[in-house]
Amino acid sequence: MLGLGGQEILLLGFIVLVFFGGKKIPELMRGLGSGIREFNNAKNSIETEVKENIKEIESKNK
């Protein structure tokens, strides 16, 4: 995971807790989760489109 060890992850968690407080963390994690989900959906959509275009080009060349 990005070359982070256990101590670094704990330190980052502590820093997030100090800056945002305990009540904001669930909201931040939900936002992060939805952002990651949107990114993955866009990535999958692009991959599918590229694969379809490759198949179309290959079928035209045969």
What is the pLDDT, as a whole number, of residue 3? 80
Q: How far apart are CA 28 and CA 33, in angstroms?
A: 9
Residue whose pair of structure tokens reads 């599918």 in the numeric block: 48
Tokens of 52: 């379809």
At 3, is the secondary structure helix, strand, or coil?
coil
Q: How far apart are CA 11 and CA 58, in angstroms?
A: 51
Write down the domain spans for the chain.
22-61
For the entire predicted model, the pTM comes to: 0.62
pLDDT of 8 higher than 70 = yes
* 26 or 41: which leads in pLDDT: 41
CB contact at 8 A, 25 and 33 = no
